[in-house]
């Protein structure tokens, strides 16, 4: 039997080679990318051999931007220590060890994969036709908007998705366009540090990590040096918005008085990886000193272990404030702590802090923010709420957001990374909480922001039987209650769906970590709902109300629809070795950054 199977594999391989040799542009070529879960060498490596076939790679050279950001003479040069820590040589296994699927299952996953691919190609084709080199397509009117400095945000954000989906021609067309972007000019006088870091820098580094093409590295360095200019401040903390003209002069920028904590807290992955691929520690040094402020004061806040939603980086004050959440305004600050540990390890004091901060915040959030909601079906799930600390009165508001749905995947990832089953179990229940919120709504999609009834018991493990009277009483107290809300929900404070990825992000991670089919099935149900409700003639649009069928659409499609949401859906149904969780860590915009190899290289292909 084993010999017969080996012959079949060999015969299949020979057929692929022959098709590839004699019909390089035929429809048969992309078939090497089709779903084949568990097959050896069928993931990222196999894709790279297809995408980097020298017969199909154009000669693309980066055009230098009109201003060289690395020539700025800083009035306040950031410290150049600590240096980048040594490469990580050992990590716990993260991803489940998958076995080959049956033919029937594999065929179903291939059908699903191709449907996600179809939706992506439709949206990408409309972007190319209607909004090429602009930040975002407006999917109803067919016009465009430049809200992120006019550097073709959708194009840069989608580079790695094009690669992952095996769209070779489209990828190199996009790379050629990226080579012409001028990061010395901007459609705005003020550049958003956070968005530029996660979308542009993250997108360029990931595309380089996947493809190895130097033009992408060159452009990533340009953006990195632009963002590095944001650290030219008296106290070494980055500004929230970079004044473009002043930053070029080098005379120094002024740190804002109050910013959301996620903004300064979401740079470590991109800056650290940029240091790794360039060999220049300056980027890592800047973010390491920034994160020292959070580390040194983590246990001095009103909720020791977590930081308030708003911080004052002009005073290096990450303590003052009474509102705590892992959702909007704070989310990626927490997301980057365990992920930074995965990227950097704990070989020295500067990197060890990410391990400590990650475990500390997760223990604190578990004890204070997560609650079990009361549902008619008595679901054993968790939802993440918000906490106001008012003196001795800690008030947990059972309000959650779509943005909070990343947390289930992060806990599961951390469960493997830190070899902590409690984190993994919490991640499972949080992820299932978001899946429940999706399937409960009439459209099959959860709202942007909502409330549920918290189980009466203080311990999430307590029995929580459905109490119709309690639910009705709470609905009467909520001005935002809607008659069409499912039982257990008391508000849909913001009933929109704006094509967000956080829920499918966690479902994808749970699928890859546990290998349990329920997550792939949940992903497909979510995809069908989202693709159907948001579909337009050109692409996909945000909708105004998930609590009603046939909701009105909004002429709006963020770049993260292509960069994150569809990428996560695709990866749920693609070969499980594609973007393996032991090879990559994904930034908050779903850009896969390569983890250093055990030999310390961490190089792209």
Residues noted as catalytic = 195, 331, 448, 502
Question: For residue 55, what are its two tokens?
Answer: 């017969």
Give which of 449, 556, 541 is closest to 502, Cα–Cα: 449
Instruction: Tell me how far apart the alpha carbons of residues 416 and 91 are, in angstroms, rounded to a whole number.
Output: 10
Question: For residue 181, what are its two tokens?
Answer: 């972007």
Instruction: Tell me how far apart the alpha carbons of residues 59 and 172 are, in angstroms, rounded to a whole number.
Output: 10
Dihedrals phi, psi of 128, to nearest 5 degrees:
-65, -40
Structural contact between residues 525 and 444, judged by C-beta atoms closer than 8 angstroms: yes
554 is in an annotated binding site: no
Instruction: Tell me how far apart the alpha carbons of residues 340 and 331 are, in angstroms, rounded to a whole number.
Output: 15
Please, is 2 exposed, middle or buried when counting C-beta atoms within 10 Å of its C-beta (0-12, 13-18, 19+)? exposed
Give which of 503, 325, 306 is closest to 400, Cα–Cα: 325
Instruction: Tell me how far apart the alpha carbons of residues 237 and 504 are, in angstroms, rounded to a whole number.
Output: 33
Instruction: Tell me how far apart the alpha carbons of residues 445 and 466 are, in angstroms, rounded to a whole number.
Output: 23
- The string over 520-538, giving b where at least 16 C-beta atoms fall within 10 Å of a residue's C-beta and e elsewhere, is bebbbebbebbbebbbbeb
Half-sphere exposure of 443 (CA within 13 A, CB side): 23
Residue 549: count of CB within 10 angstroms of its CB: 10
Q: Length of the chain, please?
A: 605
Structural contact between residues 387 and 324, judged by C-beta atoms closer than 8 angstroms: yes
Looking up tokens 């691929």 gives 277
Residues in the annotated binding site for Ca(2+):
588
């Amino acid at each position: 039997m084993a010999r017969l199977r080996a012959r079949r594999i060999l015969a299949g391989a020979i057929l692929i080679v022959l098709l590839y040799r004699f019909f390089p542009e035929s429809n048969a070529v992309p078939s090497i990318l089709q779903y084949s879960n568990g097959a050896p060498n069928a993931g990222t490596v196999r894709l790279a051999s297809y995408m980097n076939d020298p017969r199909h790679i154009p000669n693309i050279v980066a055009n230098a931007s009109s201003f060289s950001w690395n020539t700025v003479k800083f009035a306040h040069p950031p410290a150049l220590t600590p240096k980048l820590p040594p490469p990580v040589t050992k990590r716990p296994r993260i991803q489940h060890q998958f076995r080959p699927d049956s033919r029937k299952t594999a065929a179903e996953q291939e059908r699903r994969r191709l449907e996600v691919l179809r939706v992506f190609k439709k949206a990408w084709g409309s972007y190319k036709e209607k909004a090429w080199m602009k930040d975002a397509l407006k999917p109803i009117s067919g016009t465009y908007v430049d809200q992120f400095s006019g550097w073709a945000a959708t194009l840069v954000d989608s580079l790695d998705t094009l690669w992952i989906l095996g769209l070779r021609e489209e990828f190199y067309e996009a790379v050629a366009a990226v080579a012409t972007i001028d990061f010395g000019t901007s459609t705005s006088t003020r550049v958003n540090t956070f968005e530029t870091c996660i979308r542009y820098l993250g997108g360029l580094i990931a595309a380089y990590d996947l493809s190895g093409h130097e033009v992408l590295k060159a452009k990533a360095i340009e953006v990195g040096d632009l963002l590095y200019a944001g650290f030219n401040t008296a106290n070494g903390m980055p500004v929230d918005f970079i004044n473009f003209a002043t930053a070029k002069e080098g005379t120094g920028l002024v740190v804002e008085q109050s910013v959301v904590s996620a903004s300064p807290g979401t740079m470590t992955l991109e800056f650290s990886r940029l240091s790794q691929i360039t060999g220049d520690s300056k980027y890592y040094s800047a973010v390491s000193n920034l994160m020292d402020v959070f580390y040194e004061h983590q246990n001095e806040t009103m909720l020791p272990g977590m930081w308030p939603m708003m911080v004052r980086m002009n005073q290096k004050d990450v303590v003052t404030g009474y509102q705590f959440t892992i959702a909007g305004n704070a989310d990626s600050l927490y997301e980057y702590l365990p992920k930074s540990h995965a990227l950097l390890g704990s070989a020295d004091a500067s990197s060890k802090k990410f391990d400590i901060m990650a475990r500390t915040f997760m223990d604190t959030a578990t004890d204070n923010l997560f609650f079990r909601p009361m549902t008619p079906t008595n679901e054993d799930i968790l939802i993440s709420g918000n906490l106001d600390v008012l003196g001795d009165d800690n008030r947990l508001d059972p309000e959650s957001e779509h943005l909070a749905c990343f947390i289930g995947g992060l806990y599961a990832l951390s469960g493997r990374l830190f070899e902590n089953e409690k984190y993994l179990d919490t991640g499972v229940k949080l992820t299932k909480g978001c899946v429940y919120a999706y399937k409960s709504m009439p459209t099959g999609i959860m709202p942007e922001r909502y409330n549920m009834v918290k189980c009466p018991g203080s311990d999430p493990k307590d029995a929580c039987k459905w109490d119709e009277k309690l639910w009705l009483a709470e609905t009467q107290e909520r001005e935002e209650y809607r008659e069409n809300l499912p039982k257990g929900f008391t508000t849909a404070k913001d009933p929109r769906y704006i094509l967000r990825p956080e829920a499918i992000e966690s479902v994808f991670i749970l699928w890859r970590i546990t290998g349990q089919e329920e997550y792939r099935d949940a992903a497909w149900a979510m995809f069908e709902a989202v693709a159907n409700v948001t579909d337009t003639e050109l692409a996909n649009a945000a909708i105004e109300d998930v609590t009603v069928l046939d909701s009105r659409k909004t002429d709006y499609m963020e770049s993260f629809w292509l960069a994150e949401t569809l990428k996560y859906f695709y990866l749920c149904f693609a070969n499980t070795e594609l973007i393996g969780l032991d090879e990559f860590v994904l930034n908050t915009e779903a850009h896969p950054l390569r983890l250093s190899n055990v030999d310390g290289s961490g190089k792209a292909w």
